Amino acid sequence: MNNLPEPIHNLVAWFNRLPGVGPKTSLRYVYYLLLRPKEELNQFAKAIIDLKDKIQVCSVCRTYTLNNPCRICADKKRDTSLLCIVAEPRDVQALENTGEYNGYYFVLGGLVNPIEGITPEELKFSDLEKRITQDPPVKEIVLAFNPDIQGETTTLHISKILQKYPIRITRLARGLPVGSELEYADEITLTDAIKGRREV
């Protein structure tokens, strides 16, 4: 790609920084953009700039928002006794899309991962403690993390911190996804599926 004109090469390099985007996809994006009208590219550039100019972090739950507090934290109709803890702001949207959860959220901003240098102190668990002791107090915490090592480690840390509070701690049910086959499921998934079985 060294023979590309500098503007193309530079934009390819920027696209390469996006997660899951490789050199071929980046080049495809750039060639697509070259075919678009200049006005459309200006709108695209403005949308990117607006991310930093207009989006802020909610001071209550720490998700991304246009207004502070965010729409969810400002909604007085939600269940104040429920607090769902998630790793990233995108997890809030995934849970909201189900339409099944009506409590509030707290975004950690990651998961405990010592290998990558992410410690409990870095995730500001102290802010979480302040959040659950607000008035009215939280009665149940729902842990909504990926079922992997980082998710389990984070769950253990939070459980230790919150054991001194009279709060029920639950986690999302886990098991076999729709369309999967038993013979290809790992032991942890099968164990969770058996423990979480329910009446038909």
pLDDT of residue 190: 79
Confidence of residue 194 (pLDDT cuts 50, 70, 90): confident
Q: What is the pLDDT of residue 200?
A: 63
Q: CA-CA distance, 146 to 142, in Å (whole number)?
A: 13
In sequence order, which residues have a C-beta less than 8 Å from that of residue 28 and are 6 or more positions away?
none
Q: Is the pLDDT of residue 106 over 70?
A: yes
Question: What CATH number does residue 40 fall under?
Answer: 1.10.8.420
pLDDT at residue 108 above 90? Answer: yes
Q: What value, to the nearest 5°, has the Cα angle with vertex 56 and ends 25 and 115?
A: 60
Structural domain of residue 25, as residue ranges?
A: 6-53
| pLDDT on residue 141 | 94
Inside any domain, residue 190: no
The answer as to whether 33 is a domain residue is yes
What is the C-alpha separation between 163 and 169, in angstroms, rounded? Answer: 9
